[in-house]
Amino acid sequence: MFEFAKYHGAGNDFIMIEDLDARLVLEPATVAALCDRRFGVGADGVIRVTRAQDADFYMDYRNADGTADRMCGNGIRCVGKLVHDRGLTHNTELTVGTPDGVKHLTLRLEAGRVTAVTVDMGLPAFERSAVPMRGPADETFLMQPVEAGGRLFTGTALYMGNPHLVLFLDEDPAGVPVVSIGSELELDELFPERTNVEFVRVHAARIDARVWERGVGETMACGTGACGIVAAANEVGLCAPKAEVHFPGGVLEVERSAQGPVFLTGPAECVFEGRVEENELVRRGTA
Amino acid 286 reads T
DSSP character for 68? B
Look at residues 170, 224, 229, 174 and name the one whose alpha carbon lies nearest to residue 201: 170
* Residues 70, 252: Cα–Cα separation, whole Å: 20
DSSP string, 111-163: TTEEEEEEEE----B-BTTTTT-SS-TT-B--SEEEEETTEEEEEEEEESSSE
Under a CB-based contact definition with an 8 Å cutoff, are residues 12 and 221 in contact? yes
H-helix or E-strand spanning residue 182: helix 178-186
Helix (H, G, I), strand (E, B) or coil at 283: helix
Size (the chain), residues: 287
| Half-sphere exposure at residue 114, Cβ-oriented, CA atoms within 13 angstroms | 31
Task: Out of 72, 78, 227, 239, pick the active-site residue.
Answer: 72
Q: How far is CA 26 from the centre of its chain?
A: 19
Q: What is the rounded distance in angstroms from the CA atom of residue 133 to the CA atom of residue 45? A: 25
51-87 residues labelled b (16+ CB within 10 A) or e (exposed): ebeebbbbbbbbbbebbebebbbbbbbbbbbbbbbee
Catalytic annotation present for 72: yes
Q: How many CB atoms lie within 10 A of CB 23?
A: 8
Choose, from 35, 78, 222, 227, the residue flagged as catalytic.
222
Active-site residues, by number, are 72, 222
